């Protein structure tokens, strides 16, 4: 195999078959192959990564990567642009020290489930990887606002960051990120219980993608998310109940919004649905599954104003009845797929009428959890 064919391909490290006598990376019967490709390798991923879906990677005990493998690998592969340590649950801060010497080219870093990495480890990443554009910190439970502020100060080219399940992150850290990293395009704050969304206020127009499922957003926070004016994809599914009313009305100002996920937003009112339908005329996909408070005026607004809507999810909506389905049938002229099941007030006759009038619409008896075919976090 020619070296030119290996330069940019992903190298997956099988730790079980790897040995490094005298600091030389080896595999049985493959020393020459590794020697050919080692200097120009651009992407490196450990086989213990949860992103490699096989039985051994899912059942393997966490590995002490930093003391046994990572230092020597980073010395050997000095031109890495992408490094995945996802699933290296035993990796601690000291394992990241070599990034100070060999991380200058790194653009993408995955630390998902690196449970022992703290703010100090993130400061090593910030100092050693100034070219970083994407980082995933899913379930890095020891990362706080201090670490995020350090990262935001050093890595000004960040475009994509996953903070889901980072329980110590609040709006303070989020504000540092959105104010300093003005090229941000995608942020995931799902299950960050301390975030209300106000940290997004004044974000750059480059921010187009926000995932915030199972969050405790308040109205000011929702307004903050859309304040940059660039949001095209917004997932606020499973939004926590807000005692002072409907949280989501501010989304009506998102004139560029194309994909909106309200799944299991059980308290969203007709007032918000009508305002969003009128204000977000570019919507192409809207998930309203399990939105039990959407009633006839809401369905009528969707049918009347959402003329670019191609995919609509109405699974298990308790207050979708025959009249609401008729409003969707008579409107939504671009609709191609309707996800519908479990709507107990929709009669078989109304469903057959819909099919006969809108034969071009595919009605699917299934419920979809993720409505984004391409996500920067997968």
- pLDDT tens digit string along 174-233? 999 999 999 999 999 999 999 999 999 999 999 999 999 999 999 999 999 999 999 999
pLDDT surpasses 50 at 23? no
E runs forming strands in 156-216? 160-162, 186-188, 209-211
The pLDDT score that the predictor gives to residue 216 is 95
Q: Residue 161 in contact with residue 177, Cβ under 8 Å?
A: yes
The pLDDT mean for the chain works out to 87
The model's confidence at residue 139, banded by pLDDT at 50, 70 and 90, is very high
CA distance 109 to 150: 16
The pLDDT score that the predictor gives to residue 369 is 86
Measured in degrees and rounded to the nearest 5, phi and psi for residue 224 equal -65, -40
The pLDDT score that the predictor gives to residue 45 is 85
The pLDDT score that the predictor gives to residue 65 is 62
CA neighbor of 44 nearest in space, from 1, 15, 2: 15
Residues making up the chain, counted from first to last: 378
- pLDDT tens digit string along 319-367? 999 999 999 999 999 999 999 999 999 999 999 999 999 999 999 999 9
**CA distance between the termini of the chain:** 30
CA neighbor of 137 nearest in space, from 67, 69, 85: 85
pLDDT surpasses 80 at 46? no
SS3 343: coil
């Amino acid at each position: 195999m020619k070296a030119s064919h290996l330069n940019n391909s992903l190298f997956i490290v099988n730790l079980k078959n790897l040995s490094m006598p005298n600091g030389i990376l080896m595999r049985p019967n493959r020393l020459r192959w590794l020697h050919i490709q080692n200097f120009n390798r651009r992407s490196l991923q450990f086989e213990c990564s949860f992103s490699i879906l096989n039985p051994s990677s899912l059942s393997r005990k966490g590995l002490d990567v930093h003391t046994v493998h990572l230092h020597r690998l980073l010395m050997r592969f000095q031109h890495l642009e992408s490094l995945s340590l996802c699933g290296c649950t035993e990796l601690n801060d000291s394992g990241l020290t070599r990034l100070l010497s060999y991380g200058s080219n790194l653009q993408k870093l995955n630390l998902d489930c690196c449970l022992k990495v703290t703010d100090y480890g993130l400061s090593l990443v910030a100092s050693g990887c100034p070219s970083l554009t994407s980082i995933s910190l899913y379930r890095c439970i020891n990362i706080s606002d201090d670490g995020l502020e350090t990262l935001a100060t050093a890595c000004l080219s960040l475009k994509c960051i996953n903070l889901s399940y980072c329980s110590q992150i609040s709006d303070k850290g989020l504000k540092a990120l959105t104010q300093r990293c003005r090229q941000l395009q995608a942020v995931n704050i799902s299950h960050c219980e301390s975030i209300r969304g106000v940290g997004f206020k004044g974000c750059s127009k480059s921010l187009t993608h926000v995932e915030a499922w199972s969050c405790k957003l308040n109205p000011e926070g929702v307004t903050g998310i859309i304040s940059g004016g660039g949001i095209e994809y917004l997932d606020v599914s499973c939004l926590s109940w807000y005692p002072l009313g409907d949280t989501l009305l501010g989304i009506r100002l998102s004139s560029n919004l194309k994909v909106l996920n309200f799944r299991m937003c059980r308290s969203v009112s007709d007032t918000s649905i009508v305002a969003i339908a009128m204000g977000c005329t570019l919507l192409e996909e809207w998930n309203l599954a399990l939105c039990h408070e959407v009633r006839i005026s809401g369905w009528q607004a969707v049918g009347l104003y959402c003329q670019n809507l191609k995919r609509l999810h109405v699974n298990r909506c308790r207050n979708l009845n025959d009249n609401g389905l008729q409003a969707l049938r008579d409107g939504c002229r671009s609709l191609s797929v309707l996800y519908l099941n479990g709507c107990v007030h929709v009669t078989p006759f109304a469903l057959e009428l819909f099919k006969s009038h809108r034969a071009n619409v595919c009605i699917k008896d299934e419920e979809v959890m993720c409505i984004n075919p391409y996500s920067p976090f997968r």
